[in-house]
């Protein structure tokens, strides 16, 4: 089974590099965006990701607004937010959250959990049904 495609969005270059590096070493197909508008362009161009991991506090557009826009662009893409300055109670419901600072093992556990959860919510493709009026040959 191929590894998941993950888009990392953070306006802090060092955080972006560290997080992407950890995910790359774990075998994920990782893309980075230094700001939310670029993330939207990448999602629109690629059709989506298995997971978008975004900072909450960024200039221009915060992570919760980015998550809302991504869900409109690519409903199958899951989103997880990360921040070191926002209390969990102020985040939108239903979006996984990872508090900064975090260790590489914290990141991997959170990503694994978010990906498992997203796979569970994806409805299975129903089997093909034949109409009673169809005749086989």
pLDDT in tens, 70-114: 999 999 999 999 998 875 567 788 889 999 999 999 999 999 999
133 part of a folded domain: no
31 part of a folded domain: yes
Block residue for tokens 């972006």 = 16
Say whether pLDDT at 126 is over 50: no
128 part of a folded domain: no
Give the residue numbers spanning the domain of 23. 5-121
129 part of a folded domain: no
27 part of a folded domain: yes
131 part of a folded domain: no
pLDDT in tens, 60-72: 999 999 999 999 9
The CATH number linked to 45 is 3.40.50.2300
pLDDT computed for residue 87 by the predictor: 59
127 part of a folded domain: no
Q: Structurally, how many domains does the chain consist of? A: 1
136 part of a folded domain: no
């Amino acid at each position: 089974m191929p590894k998941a495609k993950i888009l990392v969005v953070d306006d802090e270059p060092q955080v972006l590099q560290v997080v992407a590096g950890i995910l790359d070493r774990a075998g994920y197909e990782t893309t980075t965006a230094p700001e939310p508008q670029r993330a939207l362009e990448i999602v629109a161009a690629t059709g989506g990701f298995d997971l978008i991991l975004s900072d909450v506090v960024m200039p221009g557009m915060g992570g919760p607004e980015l998550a809302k826009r991504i869900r409109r662009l690519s409903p199958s893409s899951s989103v997880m937010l990360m921040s070191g300055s926002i209390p969990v109670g102020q985040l939108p419901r239903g979006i996984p959250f990872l508090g900064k600072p975090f260790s590489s093992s914290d990141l991997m556990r959170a990503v694994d959990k978010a990906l498992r959860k997203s796979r569970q919510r994806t409805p299975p493709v129903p089997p093909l049904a034949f109409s009673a009026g169809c005749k086989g040959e």
